[in-house]
Structure 1
Amino acid sequence: MMVEPNYINPRISKYTSLIFISLLFVLLTAMAQFASFALIQHDVISFFGAQPEDISLALQMTYVGILATLPLQFRTLKRFDTRNYLLVALTMGILLNLGCLYTESLILFTILRFFVGATTAIIAGSMLMVIFSILPEKKSMVVGVFAFFGSILSIGVIVGTAAAWVVERMDWNGLYYILISLQVISIMICFLVFKENTLPRKIPLYQLDYIGYILFVCFGVLFAYTLIYGPKYYWFEDSTIRTTAIGALVFLSLFLYHQKRLKRPSVDLRALNYKRFWFGLLLLIFFYGIKDTINLLYGYAAGILGWSSEDIVSLGLFNVLGVALATFLALKVILTKKQNLPKLLLAGFFILLYYHLWIYWNLTPDLSYTDLVFPIFIQGFASGLLFAPIIMLCMSSLPSYTGMTGIIICAYGRFTASLNSIAGFYTLQEHYNQKYKIGFIESITPFNLELHQRSQEYENLLVSKGYNPESASAITSKLVGKTIGIQSQLLTDRTIFILAVYLTVLAILSLIVFGLVNRYKSKRQVPKIVS
């Protein structure tokens, strides 16, 4: 099979597999900029002396940059020479990484992260379009979507491996040297893979939707601020949260109105007229929110088991292995027969259900590394069976005239789900932690013989080690407090996992009903043979 000559250097066009691997490397390099400090946020918090919410906002600003730029990117790629376009974007990415490396201002860092998101969208969006162009027409959409969205699922842990290695040996921002090195390699790949002068004619840039870009940026920033800081300030009891929530609603309304009145909108709102697309989009938002329960496991490993960043990330590699195997399996199944898509989704949700049940049944204060390998792996396997197939469900529900709108709206859905999970898990943990701590404290009475006996054993042990009775009593109180904290967190995690079980069952039932309704409709549409 020969490669389309639109983008690729003719001298290497026959090496399709090598070209695909090279493009995938550049795609992963772009994604790495987005996920560069997702698993080492504690180190970033310490460096800036910031609150966790501040760093979460900086991370989400990268996503706002991606989402605002992606619709423009699918159009600007046609207006520039591809190789020069990517070289400029990669060079800008290097300069932005240098800026992030040397800045000590959190505000400047957050602004830079927004522009990192913009360059990520330019490079990743370009790679998606080029990958579509080099594959056979029947496979291009499926393979391209699986490559693109499979990398999104995996890149956080892959970059986290390098990040963990860095933070164990130097300052966390040494990670930027690795990211810059990857970008330099990507520049060399672009020189090798892409040909010059891919632009047939010059197209003016004034037709681009700059107003929509600004409106969406304003909405994204305010929406992210509302959902990240809302739980901390008790939502609408705080005047700032009320203001940002109203502002986000206003800018979203203006953005949608602006898209609706444009002749050639960046986002074709006609896509929202299709009920099948809505079902897929809601399924995506649900999946991406519920899959983030894995962060509770990583938090359990760090906070209760006391693991290092390297241990946690090495465990996460089993998750990546599950994603990779399931993504490959799902790709093969869909290429064989697209009608297998509903079966894949059901299988994925059933595995996700088992994962949540396993954690609920087995979560204790002393799980080992080998104990956690299995649930971490099956969570990745379920995610690999679900993420790209859900995207395929969404995109197959839309007519061709909507263009890349399906991918863009799905990216909006992922952004919404990520923010909802941040706010939701924060609120749930605060609520249930407080509830269980109060329950434990109320049980601490002089009549609690078990607690009194255990405390007396601690004190006697400490006295036998040379502590005086007063110090032994104080240390025992601290140990009891620590135990209460651990038990409260474990009960909180188990409660959240059982809630996830109920929600996953609801998703499975929705899929079954959706399948039955579609089968009934298809039977009714079969024309009757007139005798």
Structure 2
Amino acid sequence: MEQSIYINNWLNRQVGLVRVSLILILFAAVAQFASFGLIQAHVVSFYGAQQEDISFALQIAYVGIIATLPIQFRLQKHFNTRSYLLIAFIAGIVLNVGCLFTHDLVLFSILRFLTGVITCIVAGCILIVLFTTLPEPNRMLVGVSLFFSLILTCGVLIGIGASWVVLRANWTEIYYGLIALQVMAILLCICIFKARPAMKPYPLYQIDWSGGIIFMFGAAATLYVMVYGPKRYWFADPAIRNTAIFAIVSLTLFLFRQASLKRPLVHLSVFKFGKFIFAIFLMLLFWGIKDSINLIYGYSVMVLGWNSADVVNSGLFNIAGVIVATFIAVKVIMRNKQNLPKLLLFGFAIMFYYHLLVYRHLTPDLSFAELCFPIFVHGFACGLLFVPVSVFCIAAVPQSTGMTGIVICTYTRFIATLNSIAGYYTLQLNYNQQFKESFLSKLTPENGLVTQRQELYKGLFVSKGYTPGEAAGISNMLLAKSLSIQSQLLTLRAIFLIGAIVMALVFAILLTFAVVNKVKAARAG
């Protein structure tokens, strides 16, 4: 068996056990990257910073991942796999200890960047080893499905433990759980990996270290622009303008280097293939639009008043949808690879239904059960889409380009995340302002409904023992809160309507391509 290159001989026949162990090791690495997604409010209060500062500090880990990934695939071939992973996890423990005791946001951001580097080292290594445990015909399909399923669901899975911690102790206790996971991963690595794998080390020469550093600074600058830009009116702010120029120059220089080097980090020749460009376009839309689930979680906290445990529990329905749909997608593709376009059509149709469902049924008093259904539908759509889209991207480029397909997919995920952060914030800001101004224009003494609501509030509080002046003040506060909630609901409905329209357009484009290809195939036949 091919996995005997890495795996101890006594485990060669325990393929299932090896795969489970690899997934647990991967989870221990990814958990430290995705551990704060559902408890950002606690991190904000701990550092006393603005929301955008924490977003930048958390997302900078992704810069560490994408900057390290193309180099990681070369490094892995040079070092002993077990020693490589052990050093990475030990470094991860040190980073978590550092995060546990630091109160400086700049230092926390640096540690988060290094956390992304460690996550990439482990995830990239485990992905390669996981491929060797799978049969050749289904290696890419099953490997990518397992890998990206964990990436997609890890945030909610680790959020279960995070929510349990924040309800009972200081949120920083999460680091002890992360360290425990890493200790478990170290023990698993010692048990399953050979001390000396049966392979020659790949020589490290002509690695574009300079290009990697240039890309790292360019990606970090891009992150800064997309996180802080919407809050500072974009290019009206000199810092945003200068950082954007620096990002453009850095990334342009990186692309120029990759086009001119004999052994580049990224083979730009993949963009000569039309199918790959189309697949990247689909992936960009999918990863960007799927983040609308974060608006649902925000709505459940701000409007419905859920705590973090309720949010995580609702997220379990999302995970259930992902798992069920992923299993269906893998089975359908394994039966016939020609079913992949049909899965894409069906997946985007379900994503359209999800956005339309939320648009039509969003109210200020949805129950837990009522909201969990669209959350499940979202997970089901994601499970149907991310496997076909990922396989489509990777299979659209020749094997001679190495891991460039996976690297570009990771870049695309990063870009889509930044677009969703900036895009959803800007849309909420604009629509909220628009609806509030519309409401305020109607809050006049001549409006009988407003006067009636104010008098109702006043009478209620006066009956509770408040003075008329206090009752009037409280009634105005309640009216303002009601106006804010209604504005937010209308804003979310407008955004989900846009999402439904975009998904309908994507469905129409895919349907058109499918019909055209079928006609061409019929003529060729």
| Structures share fold, TM-score greater than 0.5 | yes
Contact 1:3–1:13 (Cα < 8 Å) also in 2: no
Mapping 1:367-446, distance limit 5 Å: 367-446=366-445
Q: Which amino acid aligns with 2:516?
A: V
Shift of 1:201: 3.3
Match of 1:464 in 2: 463
Which secondary structure does the structure 2 equivalent of 1:443 belong to?
coil
Match of 2:230, SS? coil
Look up the match of 1:346: 345
Per-residue CA deviation, residues 489-529 of structure 1 (Å, 9 max, x unaligned), is 00000000000010000110111122223334434555xxx
- In structure 1, give the amino acid aligned to 2:24: F
Q: Measure the CA separation in 2 of the matches of 1:413 and 1:379.
A: 20
> Is 2:115 aligned against 1:123?
no
**Alpha-carbon distance in 2 for matches of 1:520, 1:77:** 46
- Structure 1 stretches (4+) deviating beyond 6 angstroms? none
Q: Encode CA deviations 1:201-234: one digit per residue, 9 max, x unaligned.
A: 3444343221121011011100000011111111
**Is the contact between residue 81 and residue 199 of structure 1 (CA under 8 Å) also seen in structure 2?**
no
The offset of 1:451, in angstroms, is 1.1
Aligned twin of 2:26: 27
- Equivalences, count: 525
CA contact (8 A) 2:27 2:150 kept: yes
For the pair 1:93 / 2:92, whether they are aligned, the reply is yes
Report the 3-state secondary structure (helix = DSSP H, G, I; strand = E; otherwise coil) of the residue aligned with 1:205.
coil
The corresponding residue for 1:234 is 233
Confirm or deny: 8 A CA contact 2:206 2:263 kept in the other structure: no
DSSP 3-state at the match of 1:79: coil
2:174 counterpart letter in structure 1: L
TM-score, with normalisation over the residues of structure 2?
Answer: 0.98
SS at match of 1:366: coil
Q: Which residue of structure 1 lines up, in the alignment, with residue 361 of structure 2?
A: 362
Q: Which blocks of at least 5 consecutive residues in structure 2 are unaligned?
A: none
Q: Alpha-carbon deviations, 1:455-476, whole Å to 9, x = none?
A: 1111111111111100000000
Letter in 2 for 1:53: E
Residue type of the alignment partner of 1:137: E
User: How far apart, in 1, do the equivalents of 2:195 and 2:349 lie?
Assistant: 49
Q: Write the deviation string for residues 234-268 of structure 1: whole angstroms up to 9, x where unpaired.
A: 11111111111111111111111111111111111
**CA distance in structure 2 between the aligned counterparts of 1:343 and 1:219, rounded to whole angstroms:** 38
Q: Which residue identity does 1:156 align to in structure 2? A: G
Kept in 2, the 8 Å contact 1:3–1:16? The answer is no
Structure 1 counterpart of 2:102:
103
CA offsets per residue over residues 408-434 of structure 1, 9 Å max, x none? 001100100000000001100000101
Matches within 5 A, 1:177-216: 177-198=176-197, 200-216=199-215
AA aligned opposite 2:218:
F
Distance 2:498 2:202 in 1: 53
Q: CA deviation at 1:446?
A: 1.1
Structure-to-structure mapping, 1:208-357, within 5 angstroms: 208-357=207-356
| Paired AA for residue 162 in structure 1 | G
Q: Following TM superposition, by how much is the alpha carbon of 1:389 offset from its aligned partner in structure 2, in angstroms?
A: 1.1
Q: Structure 1 pair 387/203, CA: closer, same or farther in 2 (3 Å)?
A: closer
Deviation at 1:297, TM superposition (A): 0.7
String of CA shifts for 1:269-295, please: whole Å, max 9, x gaps.
Answer: 110111111111011111111111111
Cα contact 1:236–1:242 (8 A) shared by 2: yes
- Unaligned segments of structure 1, at least 5 residues: 527-531
Q: Hey, what's the Cα distance between the residues in 1 that align with 2:353 and 2:399?
A: 37
1:450 shift after superposition: 1.0
Matches of 2:497 and 2:444, distance apart in 1: 30
* d(CA) in 2 for partners of 1:166, 1:333: 40
SS of residue paired to 1:307: coil
Q: Write out per-residue CA displacement over residues 99-142 of structure 1, whole angstroms, 9 at most, x where no aligned residue.
A: 11111110000000001000000000011000111111111111
SS in 2 for 1:208: coil
Given that residues 36 and 159 in structure 1 are in contact (C-alpha distance below 8 angstroms), is that contact kept between their aligned partners in structure 2? yes
Distance across 2 between alignment mates of 1:75 and 1:203: 8
Assess if the C-alpha contact under 8 Å between 2:207 and 2:263 holds in 1.
no
Alignment pair present for 1:58 and 2:76: no
CA deviation profile, 1:276-328 (whole Å, cap 9, x unmatched): 11111011111111111111110111001111101111110110111011111
CA distance in 2, matches of 1:220, 1:163: 29
Name the SS for the 1:5 alignment partner. helix
Identify if the C-alpha distance between structure 1 residues 156 and 84 changes in structure 2 by more than 3 Å, giving closer, same or farther.
same
Verify: 1:500 aligned to 2:492, yes or no.
no
Q: Is the 8 A contact 2:5 2:199 kept in 1?
A: no
**SS state at 1:212 partner:** helix
Q: Partner of 2:124: helix, strand, or coil?
A: helix
- Cα distance between partner residues in 2 of 1:133 and 1:268: 24
1:147-167 superposed Cα distances (whole Å, 9 cap, x missing partner): 111111100100111111111
Question: What is the Cα deviation at residue 197 of structure 1?
Answer: 1.1
Name the CA distance, whole Å, in 1 between partners of 2:432 and 2:145: 39
Q: Which moved more, 1:452-461 or 1:517-526?
A: 517-526
Cα deviation for residue 3 of structure 1 reads 5.0
Is the contact made by 2:315 and 2:375 (CA closer than 8 Å) also made in structure 1? Answer: yes
- Could you say what secondary structure the match of 2:292 adopts? helix
One-letter amino acid of the counterpart of residue 434, structure 1: Q
Alignment correspondent of 1:67: 66
Distance 2:241 2:464 in 1: 56
Taking only aligned residues, the RMSD between alpha carbons, in angstroms, comes to 1.1
Q: Distance in 2 between matches of 1:302 and 1:361?
A: 20
Distance 1:212 1:426 in 2: 32
